[in-house]
Structure 1
Amino acid sequence: MCRMDLAQFRYLTFDVVGTLIDFEGGIVASLGEIAAEFGTQIDGEQALGLYRAARYAADADRFPDDLVRVYDEIAPQLGLPRQAALGERFRESAKHWQAFPDSAAAMARLAKRYRLIAMTNARRWALDHFERELGAPFYATFTVDDTGTEKPDPAFFTQVFDYIERDGGAKSQILHVAQSQYHDIGISRQLGIANCWIERRHDKQGFGGTIAPASFTKPDFHFHSMAELADAVDHVPAT
């Protein structure tokens, strides 16, 4: 059991896509709809594996604009036609990706106790949709458009740290909450902030649509859902 106390934190910083928003479900649903229109089916885990390999190419664009390029690359391997309009449709599907069933309610509960800050590799236009889906729970938000870089680049985190310092807070008061070992948990440990791993794929094999880390980082806190984190916080006496 973690020796840290959830009461010690003032800020919860969040990965959004994959932790709060079910991007894997959104990707599979969008590709599945396209496949059905052309009389075929896709395997969801295969599609996520192809997405992952294509998404993290050297020439990748900002997310989710890059879904246009990704579709063009993976479509033939899924038996789907290469059409510019379909690639654009795949990108636009991000506007309709749903939150995990527990996300919005858990964030509303956590917002009563902490200042919640979004840290997403997505562009601002996408976060605008994700925020509405989540019920606008954030105290502050940082996107790739704001930082000019993507996690796990330490520069992304540094800009958030600077903001929190200006807000009167300190690194010791931050708990970083995320599902990605690669983008979030490993780098947060390296930068000396506490972390909480939301293991969304605890009942599945592999890393799905998220790149695998070079090594596993044991988190300070570990839950399978946002609801579990919110429940744990509810049992912590108020300070």
Structure 2
Amino acid sequence: MSTWRPKFITFDCYGTLINFEMGPAARRVYSARLTPEQMDAFVADFSAYRLDEVLGPWKPYQDVVRNAVERTCKLHGFAYDPADAQRIIDEIPSWGPHPDTPAGLAKVAKEIPLVVLSNSMTNLIPHSVAKLGAPFHAAYTAEEAKAYKPRMQAFEYMFDQLGCGPQDVMHCSSSFRYDLMTAHDMKIGKRVWVNRGHEPENPYYGYTEIKDIGGLPGLVGL
């Protein structure tokens, strides 16, 4: 496999590097009220509504979660309690990295600057980046960009801050819908799909697949 050294390696954070437990958190809150089959449907709908919520004008991520929970409860026919959504939100700072994340990042960080582009908040992302086990050049959030991924505006903000173009970057994500479809459309230099099992493969979007962050150093000759 040929290797290429980008100016920056950029990452989605939650799901790709951090174990994104939004679904499990919802299960912890609602499982006593739903059958297993209903719970699976609830989690899937909650995920879909979160995506829908980030496609419009920017709002705080807490509101994204609250609105998605409320809409999911309405769809499933039971009353929304804001305290339930808050229980999910309060868990986010405690989520830790996937086991493969720290070692893989640490090896690459010695040679290439690492950057996070996250659908997060400026007061939340430091809690997560501090757990990644490697130094990061920068961590940019939707709050700063005033746009969530998959909107191009979020990526454009990152490129402006880094002083580079899409062609200079290798972008890594476990999600096509939030990252890799847009990365393809923006002609980002190299796209890397970290196959965490969230979504099925989609070769149309022209990426290199790795099973975890341990496979990243080999893509840049390390």
TM-score normalised over the length of structure 2? 0.81
Query: 1:64·1:122 contact (CA, 8 Å) conserved in 2?
Result: no
2:44 is the counterpart of 1:49: yes
The alignment partner of 2:205 has SS state of: coil
Does 1:12 pair with 2:9? Answer: yes
* 1:182 CA displacement: 2.1
- Counterpart residue number, 1:63: 61
Find the aligned partners of 2:102 and 2:35 in 1 and give their Cα distance.
31
Q: 1:191 aligns with which of 183, 186, 192?
A: 186
| Contact map agreement 1:28 1:47 (CA 8 A) in 2 | no
CA distance in 1, matches of 2:29, 2:160: 43
1:121 maps to what in 2? 119
Q: How does 1:82-231 map to 2 (within 5 A)?
A: 82-135=80-133, 137-165=135-163, 171-193=166-188, 194-201=190-197, 206=199, 216-219=204-207, 221-230=208-217
Q: Distance in 2 between matches of 1:217 and 1:11?
A: 20
Deviation of 1:117 (Å): 0.6
Gaps of at least 5 residues in structure 1 are: none
In structure 1, how many angstroms separate the alpha carbons of the residues matched to 2:76 and 2:97?
26
CA contact (8 A) 1:14 1:119 kept: yes
Give the superposition deviation at 1:136: 5.6
Identity among equivalent pairs (%): 20
CA shift digits 1:42-67 (9 cap, x unpaired)? 45643431112221335874424422
Check the 8 A contact 1:64/1:126 in 2, yes or no. no
Structure 2 runs not aligned, ≥5 long: none
SS, match of residue 13 in structure 1: strand
- 1:131 and 1:116 map into 2 onto residues whose CA distance is 11
Structure 2 CA distance for partners of 1:147 and 1:78, relative to 1, 3 Å? same
The Cα shift of 1:10 comes to: 2.7
Q: Contact conserved, 1:176 with 1:196, CA < 8 A, in 2?
A: yes
Note closer, same or farther for the CA distance 1:99–1:78 as it changes in structure 2 (3 Å cut).
farther
Residues 1:45 and 1:99: Cα distance change in structure 2 (over 3 Å) = farther
Give the RMSD, CA atoms, in angstroms: 3.0
Shift of 1:172: 3.8
Normalising by structure 1, we get a TM-score of 0.76
Provide the rounded CA distance (Å) in 2 between the counterparts of 1:39 and 1:186: 36
Q: Match of 1:133, SS?
A: coil
